[in-house]
Chain A
Amino acid sequence: MTTDTHTRMSDEQLEKFGEEMDAIRQRVIADLGEADASYIRGIVKKQRQLEVAGRALMYLPPAWPLAVASLSVSKILDNMEIGHNVMHGQYDWMGDPGLNSRMYEWDNVCPSSQWKYSHNYIHHTFTNVLGKDRDIGYGILRMDEDQKWHPYYLGNPVYAFLLMVFFEWGVAMHDLEVENLVAGKRSISENKALHAGIMKKVKKQALKDYLLFPALTGPLFPLTLAGNATANLVRNVWAFNIIFCGHFPAGVATFSEEECEDESRGHWYYRQLLGSANISGSKLLHLMSGNLSHQIEHHLFPDIPARRYPEIAEEVREICERYGIAYNTGPLHRQLGSVAKKICKMALPTRRSRATDPGTVVDHKLAA
């Protein structure tokens, strides 16, 4: 694990570090313009073309695999490079309602408004703070040693597998906080409005993917239905894997609530850096992951257009080297292997004592 090697930074160092991050941010924001606009519009065009092609190819049974592939890629682009990033407000500066964080709705059963709350606010603000960031295990899994073990977690790998297969449904139910409902910390009435929103979106998604488009292909109904379901499944599996590589590979740090009380901007950046991991790979991988392969840069600058992350990454790495901060990156297979190992390991109770636990790295004094 790399966590043991993290240097502890003084308040002054943190402040300087924060200023360097702010400088990157300001420079990129001042430079946003035509190139970013034509990039995202180009991606949207590709996504629409792939979607239409996928729907159309369903009429040709021999082309079924191609139809599914096309629709899968379309859904992945829609959810990741377009949806996730647009809903972060990365393109709000364009003033285009079609690419505005407040207007965009993605091809996914989770209503964008609910996702924006749990993701943009809860997850991005309290990244990897145990007890605050519900993305640590999504209320279903044990992904950190500081999460108390319970015999329920023996099923950790099984739950993870199910979450992967039904990922969009898991994301949709995320805000209902079912685990808190079970624990009696949340009442059913609090979920009423959320529930109605989810059902409305689910109906729309199910209507087009599982009824209308299949019906439009007449006798090919079952084949189209299966094709659409497969495309949703492919998107689920891919998105799950990319997202789990963002925060759960070995070496990614978690934090306690006390550590982050009244934290400075520098410390916030520091926490985002330590709490995220990148995936190295080709341009295609970056595109298909919505540039979440640059999870570190995304967490440092969530509202900067994701296409800028590769260029920012070089600077961030250089800064990390200077401050002696570990920069967690690796190829997809290695990060995935590491995540899988953690999922299995966390199924069993932790033997180590809290004192030597390398999962938590930040000195309490730092948070002052």
Chain B
Amino acid sequence: MTPLVQRVLSSKLLGALTSPHGVDRYLEQINPMWAATEVRAQVVEVVRETSGEHPVATVRLQPTTTWRGHRAGQYVQVGVEVPGARRTTRCFSISSAESGPGEEFTITVRAHAEGLVSKFLVHDAEPGLTVHLSQAEGAFTLSESPATPTNNRLLYITGGSGITPAMSHLRTLLRDGYDGRANRKVTFVHYARSPQDQIFAEELQRIAWADNDVSVHLRYGDDVFTEAALGRLVPDFRATDTWACGPAPMMDLVREAYGDSPRLRTEFFKLSTRPAGTESAEGDVTFARDGSTAANTGESLLEQAEARGLTPEFGCRMGICFSCVSRKTEGTVRNVLTGEESSLPDEEVRICVSAPVGDCVVDL
């Protein structure tokens, strides 16, 4: 869509005429790729990166013109309609080099055993599928413009699918540097379970062989992160701008190695830790806005919040009026009416009929 059309679509007049639903609720009926404010994308191509138990695929997306572009290292929320007509949204790092407004980009996704969205994207997504997006978010970004580089050395430490945001950095540096060179020394250390699980293997090899100032170090299996090994590669690593992204155990080691160095930037995607479906009250319940954490009593979230002196909004207290709906950011809750358990992160729940099962964080 041309900028003029975009201006008209997001104009106040059209907003007033389409009130209360908004322009997008009409445009989507004609073409899902037409939008005034919402961001959606169509899948252009799905490329398998690795096979095996938890295969990885790169999904190329053509966003609507409302996409404002992304900076290297950012992530995007992707909402897909999984079987059962339930739109489910997860965050994925963008793996392609920085994109401009409305430009294509890619996400690289590992199909986790319990990842509804990741499994869907890797196994079922086909070209033409429409997905719902947020704008790019996150601050795990290249703090210097690759177009006007300094001579500062850059260091990347990644593990597993944590390679994706770092890959976006690397691709951006090589694209926007000078003549395919990053124009500064870049050290790229990556830990994968095995060579078969290595994402972007071919491209990394090409980067490693080329004359581009980038040194690539791939480590497999038991060859896990140690401070000593990093020290051999980059002696003054604590004084080097570092981006680290990977699974929790690796991140703990990296943080320990860096101490309180301000040069370390981390990105960390938590997988929900879900205990087996037990009915007994276990774990801790955290009310994020209040900042309080206490042992789960097994009562409904509303009752537990009130017991701690909070006053969440409520109505019927029996699950029919939806006045008390709040956002559960982590953990599992059981609907006390149906017994149904749900572990989706960032889920809207009726706190009057939801009891925590194990650790649980609610935005109250």
**Chain A interface residues (CB < 8 Å from chain B):** 22, 25-26, 29-30, 32-34, 36-38, 44-45, 48-49, 52, 88-89, 92-96, 98, 100-102, 105-107, 116-117, 120-121, 124-125, 201, 204-205, 207-208, 212-213, 216, 265, 268, 302-303
A116 to B315, CA, bound (A): 10
The answer to the question of B338 belonging to the interface, with a C-beta cut-off of 8 Å to chain A, is yes
Contact status B19-A116, CB under 8 Å: no
- Binding stretch for chain A, among B207-215, B284-292, B318-326: B318-326
A174 to chain B, nearest CB (A): 16
A268 to B89, CA, bound (A): 36
> Which of B13, B87, B321, B348 has a CB less than 8 Å from the CB of A125?
B321
Contact status B20-A89, CB under 8 Å: no
A71 to chain B, nearest CB (A): 13
Name 26 interchain pairs, CB-CB below 8 A, sorted by A. A25-B337, A29-B338, A36-B85, A44-B29, A52-B26, A94-B86, A95-B86, A95-B87, A95-B88, A101-B325, A105-B21, A107-B21, A116-B321, A117-B315, A120-B315, A120-B320, A121-B315, A121-B316, A124-B316, A124-B320, A125-B316, A204-B16, A208-B19, A212-B16, A212-B17, A216-B17
Q: Quick one: which of B181-236 are within 8 Å of A by CB?
A: none
Contact mask for chain B residues 288-322; partner A; CB cutoff 8 A; 1 contact, 0 none: 00000000000000000000000000011011111
A49 to B336, CA, bound (A): 41
A172 to chain B, nearest CB (A): 13
Given contacts A33-B85, A204-B16, contact A98 B25 (CB under 8 A): yes
Q: Which residue of A has the minimal Cβ distance to B80? A: A95
Q: A120-B315, A125-B316, A125-B318 are in contact. List 19 more A-B contacts (CB 8 A).
A: A22-B337, A33-B84, A34-B84, A34-B85, A37-B85, A48-B29, A89-B322, A94-B86, A96-B87, A101-B325, A116-B323, A117-B323, A124-B316, A204-B20, A212-B16, A268-B318, A303-B319, A303-B320, A303-B322
A45 to B88, CA, bound (A): 22
Given contacts A22-B337, A116-B323, contact A48 B26 (CB under 8 A): yes
Chain B residues near A201: list those with CB within 8 A. Answer: 20
A33 to B88, CA, bound (A): 14
A363 to B13, CA, bound (A): 58
B172 to chain A, nearest CB (A): 32
Contact status B318-A26, CB under 8 Å: no
The answer to the question of B79 belonging to the interface, with a C-beta cut-off of 8 Å to chain A, is yes
A34 to B82, CA, bound (A): 10
Given contacts A34-B85, A94-B86, A120-B323, contact A106 B17 (CB under 8 A): no
A94 to B86, CA, bound (A): 4
Q: Which residue of A has the minimal Cβ distance to B325? A: A102
Chain A residues near B338: list those with CB within 8 A. Answer: 25-26, 29-30
Q: Which residue of A has the minimal Cβ distance to B28? A: A98
Contact mask for chain B residues 325-351; partner A; CB cutoff 8 A; 1 contact, 0 none: 100000000000110100000001000
Q: Which residue of A has the minimal Cβ distance to B24? A: A98
Q: Which residue of A has the minimal Cβ distance to B86? A: A95
What total count of A-B pairs have CB within 8 Å? 97
> Which of A36, A37, A120 has a CB less than 8 Å from the CB of B321?
A120
A284 to chain B, nearest CB (A): 22
> Which of B17, B89, B320 has a CB less than 8 Å from the CB of A95?
B89
> Which of A38, A92, A105, A121 has a CB less than 8 Å from the CB of B20?
A105
Chain B residues near A100: list those with CB within 8 A. Answer: 348
Chain A residues near B20: list those with CB within 8 A. Answer: 105-107, 201, 204-205
Contact status B85-A213, CB under 8 Å: no
Contact status A208-B321, CB under 8 Å: no
Given contacts A29-B338, A120-B315, A204-B20, contact A212 B13 (CB under 8 A): yes
A93 to B323, CA, bound (A): 16
Chain A residues near B340: list those with CB within 8 A. Answer: 29-30
**Chain B interface residues (CB < 8 Å from chain A):** 13, 16-17, 19-21, 25-26, 28-29, 79, 83-89, 315-316, 318-323, 325, 337-338, 340, 348
Q: Which residue of A has the minimal Cβ distance to B82? A: A95
B39 to chain A, nearest CB (A): 12
Q: Which residue of A has the minimal Cβ distance to B322? A: A89
A154 to B84, CA, bound (A): 54
Q: Which residue of A has the minimal Cβ distance to B85? A: A37
Contact status B86-A93, CB under 8 Å: yes
A175 to chain B, nearest CB (A): 13
Chain B residues near A33: list those with CB within 8 A. Answer: 84-85
Nearest 8 CB-CB pairings of A with B: A121-B315, A37-B85, A95-B87, A105-B20, A120-B321, A125-B316, A121-B321, A89-B322
Given contacts A102-B348, A106-B20, A204-B16, contact A121 B88 (CB under 8 A): no
Contact status B16-A208, CB under 8 Å: yes
Chain A residues near B25: list those with CB within 8 A. Answer: 48, 98
A30 to B341, CA, bound (A): 12
A95 to B325, CA, bound (A): 14
Given contacts A117-B315, A121-B316, A303-B320, contact A94 B85 (CB under 8 A): yes
Chain B residues near A25: list those with CB within 8 A. Answer: 337-338
Q: Which residue of B has the minimal Cβ distance to A102? A: B325
Q: Which residue of B has the minimal Cβ distance to A100? A: B348
A49 to chain B, nearest CB (A): 8
Contact status B86-A208, CB under 8 Å: no
B127 to chain A, nearest CB (A): 22
> Which of A45, A101, A107, A302 has a CB less than 8 Å from the CB of B29?
A45
Q: Which residue of B has the minimal Cβ distance to A125? A: B316
B362 to chain A, nearest CB (A): 16
Chain B residues near A36: list those with CB within 8 A. Answer: 85
A121 to B20, CA, bound (A): 23
A265 to B25, CA, bound (A): 39
Chain A residues near B26: list those with CB within 8 A. Answer: 48, 52
Given contacts A102-B322, A207-B16, contact A125 B315 (CB under 8 A): yes
Q: Which residue of A has the minimal Cβ distance to B314? A: A121
Q: Which residue of B has the minimal Cβ distance to A108? A: B20
Q: Which residue of A has the minimal Cβ distance to B339? A: A26
Given contacts A52-B26, A121-B323, A207-B16, contact A92 B348 (CB under 8 A): yes
A116 to B322, CA, bound (A): 9
A48 to B318, CA, bound (A): 34
A22 to B88, CA, bound (A): 27
A38 to B85, CA, bound (A): 9
Chain A residues near B320: list those with CB within 8 A. Answer: 120, 124-125, 302-303
A117 to B315, CA, bound (A): 8
A362 to chain B, nearest CB (A): 19
Chain B residues near A205: list those with CB within 8 A. Answer: 19-20
Chain A residues near B315: list those with CB within 8 A. Answer: 117, 120-121, 125
Chain A residues near B337: list those with CB within 8 A. Answer: 22, 25
